[in-house]
Amino acid sequence: MVCYHWYEKRKGMWDDDWAARTLLAQRSQRRIKAALGLKPSSDDYDKTDLAKFSLGTKRTLAQFKVFSGIDPEAKWIKNNEHQFDVCPPKELHYVPYVGSAVEEPALPPPTQLLPVTTSPLPRTRDTVNRHIIVLIANYRDSKRCGETLESIFTKAAHPDLVAVSIFDQLNFEENELPCFDSYCQLVGEDQCRRSDRLRRNSSIGYMDATGPTYGRYRTEEGVDLTIDTFALAIDSHILFVPNWDTEMMSQWDSIGNPKAILTVYPDGTDRYPKLDEAPRFVTLMCHARIENNNDDAMVQYSSSIQIPCPPKPQLMSQFAGGFNFGTAESALEVRNDPYTPYLFHGEEYSRVARLFTHGYDTYIPTHHLCFHWYEPRKAIWDHDWDKRTVIARRSQRRIRAALGLPTTKDDYDKTDLD
């Protein structure tokens, strides 16, 4: 792993009015279904810009169903976390498409540096000293977020080639600091190098936050194709290992696929390696299920498994919203859908289905390069969730429609869906 995650209790948008927000989340689920070409249960989802957040044309959803082993139209099965299982000994195989750069990615000789493919978009970026933009959506987690920035820059081999784009969602009445301010307090204003390292920073009040897809969409506004070669999206509570940046690029290069995405659920910080400790295991995401018996239910990823570290990044069919690394173009070509408020389950499946049909492929790294703080924290679900659930269901219907899946209603936001 290149980074590890703080798994701990923290503030979340689910803390207030969750019953109401659940309704909004269900609308988001319907939007996701619509975006995937599935039939939502109703037409009450947001249709704004839906075409921009729908499937690509390089591969089909039918191909992705076979590749991922997941049928998003399957029925919910109670107490079945492994409803869909593509874990070893099952093997995944690369799916070529017309114009694909590779038939089956292979490990090149260790000394070979694979060229970064050029984009049709004009740019003057440095393809030798490759830049990374790190995208962080911070929901009332500024202490850990500041520590995450400290880890990003102190652990990088080339911190001058790294910048961050942050979207803060804060309680201003409690004087919660923006993430970068928290970082500057931690290391000192002279050392935090705000003008060099902070590419973009926007903030809103936490009660106006609408979930991870919108927050991550706003961070993508900081990607600059004239500068950035790569984009790394992470959670706001991550701890990196030394030289994570060069290691991450080296692993990406080794795949030999210019449309590769490195992604994984990071291990917890309690597994952060000791000095000179060789990595032995990495996480593989290979289980999934239909989240519930709602007609607009989406795919929910189940618990991952640990496998011995592979010799090269391993092809995978799933996607982690809290850690994914690919070209800067990938972050802009297949963006997070901002019109899916309060969507949680279905967010990652929708994104990987869209990436796959746009020609991208996901891989787990050979070992963890970052770790996650798994701990209690504030969450968006903490407030008004009864009301927000209605909105979330519309989001689910939008996602289903975008994926070509059936929806129960036609009430979702259809912006850019056509």
Question: Does 229 score more than 60 pLDDT?
Answer: yes
CA-to-CA distance for 198 and 220, rounded, in angstroms?
A: 13
In this predicted structure, which of 66-80, 118-132, 154-168, 231-245 has the lowest mean pLDDT? 118-132
Q: Is the pLDDT of residue 313 over 80?
A: yes
What is the percentage of the chain residues whose pLDDT exceeds 90? Answer: 56
Quickly state the pLDDT bin for 417 (edges 50, 70, 90). confident
Over the chain, what is the mean pLDDT? 87
pLDDT of residue 13: 65
pTM for the complete prediction?
0.79
Domain boundaries, the chain: 2-97+122-412
Please say if the pLDDT value at position 124 is more than 60: no
Cα–Cα dist 10/159, whole Å: 28
* pLDDT on residue 119: 42
pLDDT of res. 18: 61
Q: What's the pLDDT tens digit per position in 9-44? A: 667 665 666 666 777 777 787 887 788 787 788 888
Q: How far apart are CA 251 and CA 241, in angstroms?
A: 14
* 2-97+122-412 classified as CATH 3.40.50.300: no
What lies within 8 Å, CB to CB, of 269 at 6+ separation is 4, 5, 6, 7, 239, 371, 372, 373, 374
**Residue 217 binned pLDDT confidence (cut-offs 50, 70, 90):** very high
Instruction: Give me the pLDDT at residue 111, please.
Output: 32
Does 117 have pLDDT greater than 60? no
- Residue range 126-179, pLDDT digits in tens: 778 999 999 999 999 999 999 999 999 999 999 999 999 999 999 999 999 999
Dist CA 78 CA 11 (whole Å)? 29
Task: Name the pLDDT band for 249 (thresholds 50, 70, 90).
Answer: very high
Local confidence band at 259 (pLDDT 50, 70, 90 cut-offs): very high
Beta strands in 216-297 (DSSP E): 228-234, 238-240, 260-263, 281-284, 287-290
